[in-house]
Amino acid sequence: MRGTEDRIADAITAFAGTMLFVYLHAAWFTVWIVCNEGVFGQQAVWDPFPFGLLTMIVSLEAIFLSTFVMLSQNRQAARENVRADLDFETNVRSEVWSIHMGRALGVDPAEVERKVQEALAENRSRMTGSGQASR
């Protein structure tokens, strides 16, 4: 279950990954630089070139954004681990059931495994483009 902090971090990360975020920053930087180059007069200058305050703000923002991204990635990795564990358990259950059903029906497991290996090899060859699959 996600807490308030996790939801905030995810929301910030989600917003930072949008073009709106890029456009807002481009507009912000443009206004900042135009004002601090004296276009609106010297009274509008608060951070003259080389824009030390802007540099510091952008650096701090980068630190916080990278932290939010890492937090979100860590939570995503944890969710993927749970899914992988569930997939593994499901695969093991399916294989055990298949073996037992095959034995009950008198199916030769060696023949089934040979067919599986052929199907896997054909699929791999299709994926790598190293051979033509027969139809």
Q: What is the pLDDT of residues 30-52, one digit of tens each?
A: 999 999 999 999 999 999 999 99
The token pair that represents 49 in the structure block: 């070139």
Q: Which two tokens stand for residue 69?
A: 């991204």
Q: How confident is the model at residue 129 (pLDDT cuts 50, 70, 90)?
A: confident
- Averaged pLDDT of the chain: 92
Q: What is the DSSP letter of 43?
A: G
Query: What are the two backbone dihedrals, phi and then psi, of residue 132, each rounded to the nearest 5 degrees?
Result: -95, 130
Exposure b/e, 43-79, CB count within 10 A at least 16 = b: eeeebeeebeebeeeeeeeeeebeebeebbeeeeeee
Q: Which amino acid is at 66?
A: S
pTM of this structure: 0.62
| Alpha helix (H) residue ranges in 4-128 | 4-16, 19-36, 52-105, 109-128
Report the chain's terminal Cα–Cα distance, integer Å. Answer: 48
Question: Is pLDDT at 77 greater than 90 in this prediction?
Answer: yes
Q: What is the distance between the alpha carbons of residues 67 and 12, in angstroms, rounded to a whole number?
A: 11
pLDDT score recorded for residue 2: 74
> Given this model, what pLDDT does residue 5 score?
87
pLDDT at 135: 46
Task: Give the mean model confidence (pLDDT) for residues 118-132.
Answer: 86
Q: What is the pLDDT of residue 1?
A: 67
